[in-house]
Amino acid sequence: MPRLFWKVSRSLTERTLPTGQFPLRLAMALPMTVQPVPIAVAAFYRFHRLMDLPGLRSALQELCEAKGVRGILLLAPEGFNGTLAGEPQALDAVLAGIRAHTGAAAFEVKFSSTAKPPFRRLKVRIKKEIVTIGVPSVDPVAVVGTYVEPQDWNALIADPDMLLIDTRNAYEVAIGTFDGALNPETRSFGEFPAYVRNTLDPARHRKVAMFCTGGIRCEKASSFMLAQGFEQVFHLKGGILNYLETVPETESRWSGGCFVFDERVAVGHGLEVQPVRFCLSCNTPLDATALASSGYEDGVSCPACVARLTDQQKASARERQRQVELAAKRGGRHLGPRG
């Protein structure tokens, strides 16, 4: 129900009345709907040497909480990676604080907006890597592939000698990808090095172009591939999100939606939210066939995971779903387990 404010007739309010008295008649008031402030969403990362991670975590956690900003912020010796959401001014203040506390004065931020908060809580975590590839020698601060601006991407991948690779996980690729891209069928980014070693050959694949959601995985993937002897490695600057925001849909080589790691699930051209559902147990996108399958149970399982889930896992998921439904009936939201 929108909040209502009532206009009082100016002629009545301007009359001189004895102190403590109010007009007995008010002009007919017109309801004014207060438009909700859109929630700003910022996706960003930076490979940048960080020190005193516990102190940095404490300072940034306190700042985000004070500004009412929620989301995920990962800190590691190699840099930071986050997606945060809040009111625009609050989010700007937090980003300014991250620049000040980390010493990384410049890093690209991809902004979007949504009507509903995409995160239920704030998580500021310390990790070994801000995106896990599992190869300690990989160092994007030292060397990365060649950045390609979104407006130049179509011409690059039109080269018949260019090998185009989607570095994301299989469940992300299932929602959408670039035409003609290879799908490594990885379940996590940590499997990408094995895919390269077992499938690709620097002698045959001399020109490689790769892409990911916002660019961070490609920085590590390109650094790894250059170390493996691949001569020319290109990656989409700012990732798919930058491309979808920059390149007109009429000129786009992208098909489908781009999976994002919040409650929007997927976005398309112009970063508009796409109507996609996914399994809460395994993150597999769900089409009409999956939703009609006997293996699908709302909030519990889908055909991709029903056989491997234990009875205990299914029972836990059913209880979670029951709490979600109860919270919805009360008009609230179930936050789920804390982690």
* Eight-state DSSP code of residue 301: B
Alpha helix ranges (H) inside the chain: 10-13, 53-67, 88-102, 150-157, 170-173, 192-199, 216-227, 239-246, 288-292, 311-329
Distance CA 195, CA 200 (A): 8
> Residue with structure tokens 């379940």?
187
Selecting among 212, 218, 279, 305, the annotated active-site residue is: 212
Q: Active site includes 279?
A: no
Query: CA angle, 99 as apex, 113 and 264 as ends, to 5°?
Result: 20
If you count DSSP H runs as helices and E runs as strands, how many of each does the chain have, helices first?
A: 10, 17
Residue 138's CB is within 10 A of a number of other CB atoms, namely 22
At 146, give phi and psi (nearest 5°). Answer: -85, 125
Report the run of H or E that residue 110 belongs to, with start and end.
Answer: strand 109-114
Annotated catalytic residues are 212
